[in-house]
Amino acid sequence: MRPEVSNKRLINCEIVDVNQLMPIKYQWAWEHYINGCANNWLPHEIPMGDDAALWKSDRLTDDERLLLMRNFGFFSTAETLVANNLSLAVFKHVTNAECRQYLLRQAFEEAIHTQAFLYICESLHLPAGEVFNMYRELSVIEAKDRFQMELTSAIVDPHFSTVTSQGAALFLENLIGYYVIMEGIFFYGGFAMVLAFQRQNKMRGVCQMYEFILRDETIHLNFGIDLINGIKEENPDLWTPSIRRRVVERVKEAVELEARYTEECLPRGIFGLRPESFRRYIEYLADRRLERIGLPLYYGSDNPLSWMSEAIDLHKEKNFFENIVTEYRPASSLEWNNSNS
Ligand code: MN
Ligand code: FE
């Protein structure tokens, strides 16, 4: 007997095995996979000559350099943490073929992102040892990473299983910790700091790379939210008041960690943007993320960096790769009209 699509489950699937791609049940997972594949890019495709010349010149202030170094210091390792969490903690416990197909794509993109930070170091002749050790040597980065790594170690324990409701809840907390907090809050805070340079027409190569990473991360976040909400729907008993409270507490802790990190990245502000504006932006992000997983807003902060929303929305309209990639259209979406042609 061939498997019934209705028996597919995101976690703890007992009837349909993980190799059964067709029929697809979770169309969103396949769409995210196709959208991710349409965004192929490699770091060395981005010219870095102007950035290297600017970095070597005296046209960047010490504050601008400090921000960039600490920003690269965070991302260079954060991308690896996400990749390791995906492949070691998440992949095994997602029991659905179309979701795993996306996870494979995402894991590759995380590898590209890590490579991007090495490429930045090479292009600007930055001390890669300093950048790639900041997660251990700079306490504000170390604190964010430790906060994330707890969630990975809880799941890579060989005795861990999602079959118990306690295990399933922990797995859901891992997904929220990585997709919503790491990629959805920490990463967007980091993108905003660097994309502020774009508005000054500085570090254009780095900014283009961040735009490409941001576009990938937008899909990671959307997939993560679909997966989290899908698991909640299939396992309504999991979403208890106590897990909701724990999630809100973690989001609040993350906002504090990110605010402290931001203060050490831009202690005197940057381009007239004060650290308080970035804090408000982080609070605004936290509210948006809480909302998307069905939790009440906590901060009620408005968006002080409205240009960041524009930078994000732009990706929906502008086709960055119009010269490289032709738009993918699955055969099922083609319309045949015999009467007019
Ligand atoms: Mn990434
Ligand atoms: Fe990501």
Work out the mean pLDDT of the chain and round it to a whole number. 92
Interaxial angle between packed helices 139-156 and 165-175, expressed in degrees from 0 to 180 and rounded to the nearest 10? 150
Q: Residue 273 forms beta bridges with which residues? A: 270
Looking at the CA of 179, name the nearest ligand. 2
Distance CA 4, CA 12 (A): 16
Ligand 2 centroid distance, CA of 61 (Å): 30
Q: Known catalytic residue: 119?
A: yes
Query: Band of the pLDDT at 307, cuts 50, 70, 90?
Result: confident
With a CB cutoff of 8 Å and minimum separation 6, the contacts of 158 are none
Alpha carbon of 79 to ligand 2 centroid (Å): 7
Nearest ligand to the CA atom of 85? 2
| DSSP helix/strand/coil, 15 | coil
Q: With 0-12 CB in 10 A as exposed, 13-18 as middle and 19+ as buried, what is 118?
A: middle
What pTM was estimated for this model as a whole?
0.91
- By C-alpha distance, which of 290, 237, 240, 232 is closest to 10? 232
In tens, the pLDDT along 80-92 reads 999 999 999 999 9
Of the residues 26, 33, 102, 119, only one is catalytic, namely 119
Per-residue pLDDT at 306: 87
Q: How far is CA 152 from CA 82, 139, 157, 220, 251, in A?
A: 10, 20, 9, 18, 17
Residue 91 identity: F
Q: How far is the CA of 199 from the centre of ligand 1 (A)?
A: 23
Q: What are the residues whose beta carbon lies below 5 Å from ligand 2 (ion)?
A: 183, 217, 220
Residue 314 CB neighbour total at 10 angstroms: 13
Q: Which two tokens stand for residue 309?
A: 């929303």
- For residue 270, what are the β-bridge partners? 273
- Kindly state the average pLDDT of the residues 18-29: 97
Cα–ligand 2 centroid distance for 325 (angstroms): 22
* Residue with more model confidence, 189 or 1: 189
pLDDT digits (tens, 9 = 90+) for 126-168: 999 999 999 999 999 999 999 999 999 999 999 999 999 999 9
Q: Which domains does the chain have, with CATH numbers?
A: 27-39+48-334 (1.10.620.20)
Task: Give the distance (Å) from ligand 1 centre to CA of residue 229.
Answer: 21
